[in-house]
Amino acid sequence: MTKLLLVLLLCGPAFAQDSQIPVTEVETVDPFADPAAPEPAVSEPVTPAPVVEVAPALEAPPAKPVPDSTSPVLTTEAEMDDDEKRFNPLESHWVSIFGFETLQYSVPYEFTGEKKSFRPGGNELWGGRLGFGGELYLGLGFTTTSRLEGYYVGTLFSRVLNAGPEDEDVEFAYTKRSGSLWGVEATQSLGIVFDFKTKNPILDEWSYLTMEPFVEAGIGRAYAYNRLNYDYNTGSTTNEGYRQRVRDDLWTTKFGGGINFTSSSGYFLYLKATVNSFDVFQRKLRTYTREDQGTGSTVRETLKDVKLDPITTYALGGGYKF
């Protein structure tokens, strides 16, 4: 063993000089580095492209269904334009009205003549009414309306009787009646609304109508003027005349009822009958009386608190709710 070690010591330097073993460079690896993380790459700066805004595409409106002309189903409010939406009777509205009416006003004419006589009775008057107010919806179909109204009624035609060619002995004869009544009233009404559909017989299409029965009451101030002129003169056998002028200042109260028919656009038609109580607190009379072949005389008088029988008024009219 000692000999072998000695040989190796002597021959080792020579063996190393003759046989050179190439040396390979070995890359040193960091054992603590993250093997999944890539090395950061160095890149040149990139200029971003300009952003172009694109307007969203417009969607076509949904097509409206074509209504069947034979169907009674109406177009819904959602399918109608704002200016075509039907009138809603279950809301509060302003109300304007106009109407035509007639009544028999009591007059105190009284005269007994040879050719003609007169008795107290009614003077037939015709006229119109205008009003404006507000309608308040109370719920459950009930409405109440407050209005201020003005009206005028009078004689449409004055009846005049003149002597004709066949009455050669009559020099002058006529009978003329005239009268008028005008005033203002505050009116309150209560109604209930029924909404239904009906078919227009002219346009052959279905539409909405609102039927509204109502009752109303009111109070007002009015003036009345009525006049009667009568004269008959043959010049020899008959000569008589009668003229009376009646001026009334009065308070009015009324109670009545009727029905409204309102269209889907807010226009309405009404029919009603009203019982009026006229309290004449001052009546001025001027009466001229000439008995046959007598001398005429004129009497003036003023009466207080004159009571008249209730007078019924019949009216037809319309209006607009908005």
Residue 201's pLDDT is 55
pLDDT digits (tens, 9 = 90+) for 142-165: 999 999 999 999 997 665 655 554
Taking residue 137's Cβ as centre, other Cβ atoms within 10 Å add up to: 16
Residues 135, 254 contacting (CB under 8 angstroms): no
Rounded CA-CA distance 287/227 in Å is 10
Residue 219's pLDDT is 97
Residue type, 289: T
Residue 159's pLDDT is 59
Rounded CA-CA distance 143/16 in Å is 127
Quote the distance between the C-alpha of residue 182 and its chain's center.
26
Q: Is the dihedral of CA 182, 187, 190, 192 positive or negative?
A: positive
Name the CA radius of gyration of the chain, rounded: 53
Residue 156's pLDDT is 76
What does the pLDDT profile of the chain (322 residues) look like in tens digits? 555 545 445 555 544 444 444 444 444 445 444 444 455 554 455 555 555 454 444 454 555 554 444 433 344 444 444 444 667 888 899 999 999 999 999 999 999 988 889 999 889 999 999 999 999 999 998 999 999 999 999 997 665 655 554 555 556 788 888 999 999 999 999 999 987 666 655 555 666 678 899 999 999 999 999 999 998 888 778 889 999 999 999 999 999 999 999 887 889 999 999 999 999 999 999 999 998 878 889 999 999 999 899 999 999 999 999 9
- Architecture of the CATH domain 92-321: Beta Barrel (2.40)
Per DSSP, the residues of 235-269 read SSS-EEEEEEEEEEEEEEEEEEEEEEEEETTSEEE
